[in-house]
Amino acid sequence: MTNNSGEGKRWYDKDPILKEALELLRLSTDEQKEQAKDFMLKLQEDVAQDVIERIYQIVTQYGGKGNRWYDNDPIMIKAIEMLRQADPKTQRVAALKLLLALEKNSFSDD
């Protein structure tokens, strides 16, 4: 029983760019993941305060206890949830930037 089989089981499966970005992130180095977290947390500016409070509840609920690849890292949970709660346009833009940054191995704004 794996989440990798079958389309549409995860919230990001509906957008191929978002799906590819998160899969690449899952397979990236710890250093790349650290940089990606900071990048995704910048989405906080685009997410409403009540959503942010719900994200903190999710972090508390799943931190270290879930089965997802990022559940052992509370900051990565927050970053992924921030991305999940963003509107679809913001998700897509962030996913494209994330893909490019992971491929270049650079999260600088150059």
Classify 26 as helix, strand or coil: helix
Phi, psi angle pair for 28, to nearest 5°? -80, 170
Averages of pLDDT over runs of 10 residues in the chain (110 residues) are 53 90 91 88 75 80 82 86 87 89 73
pLDDT number for residue 1: 35
Residue that the structure tokens 């509906």 belong to: 14
Q: Which helix H or strand E contains 103, and what residues bound it?
A: helix 88-104
pLDDT number for residue 3: 45
Classify 70 as helix, strand or coil: coil
Residues 6+ apart with CB under 8 A from 24: 98, 99, 102, 103
pLDDT number for residue 28: 92
